[in-house]
Amino acid sequence: MRQLTTAEWQVIRGRDPDPDLDAVEITEFSGPLLAGGLVIAIVGVLPLVGTRLSENADSLFGPLIGSFALAAVCTTTVAWLLSALISGLVVLVVYDVSPKVASAATEGALRGSFGRIEGAASSVTLVALISGLISLAIGLPNMASSDDESSVIEELLSAQVACLLLVLMLGFAAESIRTSAEILGSQVKVIGWLGSLLIVLISFYLASSAGPFAPVKLTRNILEAWLPADIDGVPRAQVISDVMPNNSYLWSMLIIAPFVTVTWFVTAWRLGAIRNLRAAVRAAAGQGEGQGEDGLEVEGSDQHE
């Protein structure tokens, strides 16, 4: 044991005979850790704050936010499935591959996508629970006294559900783009990402306008099942009509295009697709210029002859 300790000490002294604390190195070491801790703290504290605000607000705040979240998750899930289906049909029809190949590409992309969503949802809900417990232990947020012995557990579970719904909504939206790009990428590598943007836009508009999963219609149905017959003396139908006016459908249609475009850009940038697309465009431009110069040289030699 003594020999091992001596050898380890010699290794340490051989690497740096005069160790000191470098502020730059300490910053580089602690910076990512502090950023991660801040994200974990936000994930733990904000859902609890939102839960307490929903309890202290009027009786419509909680059901309204919950209905919006549930409807958004349903719509993005349907759009995710539609984008995979449309991408598989494009591979089958446009690129004229066999049905078995198109089906295998679609199924493989869906399996991988669902696994990523499942992993992200499990991780975020676990982080929300642990960071929520830590935030409660240090008194953040300030918990009001309650006679209900299960209030803390209910608030933690509500915070977990809020994080889960948010992750599912963003996850299915991002994975619809990635899944479509992977299915198209089985036949074409670069332009598949551009095609995925168009396919996902079509999928979201179909999911938001046709069938029972349209967000406005689904939100109204959830509110009708969630709210009591009278809310502060106002009939339920009138309350729903006030919070979900007739122009809600138009607003939902206007939000889709910016939301999908931003999600596509962030997903493509994170996975390096934008960099690959730029490189492909530069290569194609250089190849075109080279072919143009070759053509001019051949034409000039012909004229010279």
Q: Could you read off the pLDDT of 14-68 as tens digits, one per residue?
A: 665 555 666 777 777 788 888 877 776 666 666 666 655 555 545 666 777 788 8
Residue 214 lies inside a defined structural domain of this protein: yes
Q: Which domain holds residue 283?
A: 37-294
In a domain, 30, yes or no: no
- Kindly write down the DSSP assignment for every residue of 225-241, as one continuous string: HHS-SEETTEEHHHHHH
Looking at residue 185, its pLDDT comes to 85
pLDDT band for 204, please (50, 70, 90 cuts).
very high
Cα–Cα distance measured from residue 260 to residue 178, given in angstroms and rounded to the nearest whole number: 12
Predicted local distance difference test score (pLDDT) of residue 296? 44
Q: Which of 221, 211, 215 is nearest to 251 (CA)?
A: 215
pLDDT at 150 over 50: no
- Among residues 105, 99, 278, the alpha carbon closest in space to that of 194 is found at 278
What is the per-residue pLDDT across 212-267, written as a single tens digit (0 to 9) for each? Answer: 778 888 888 888 888 888 877 788 888 888 888 878 888 888 899 999 999 999 99
pLDDT 10s digits, 70-122: 888 999 999 999 999 999 999 998 888 889 988 999 999 999 999 999 998 88
* Per-residue pLDDT band at 299 (split at 50, 70, 90): very low
Whether 27 is covered by a domain: the verdict is no
255 lies in some domain: yes
Residue 230 φ then ψ, to 5°:
-125, 135
Return the higher-pLDDT residue of 160 and 59.
160
Domain for residue 16, yes or no? no
- Provide the percentage of residues in the chain whose pLDDT is more than 70: 73
Per the model's pLDDT, the better-predicted residue between 272 and 6 turns out to be 272
- Greater confidence (220 vs 133) lies with 220
Q: Count of domains in the chain?
A: 1
The answer to whether residue 152 sits within a structural domain is yes
Number of H helices, E strands in the chain: 10, 2
Domain assignment of residue 4, yes or no: no
| pTM for the model | 0.76
User: Considering the domain boundaries, does residue 20 fall inside one?
Assistant: no
Whole-number Å distance between alpha carbons of 285 and 293 = 12
Residue 293: pLDDT above 70?
no
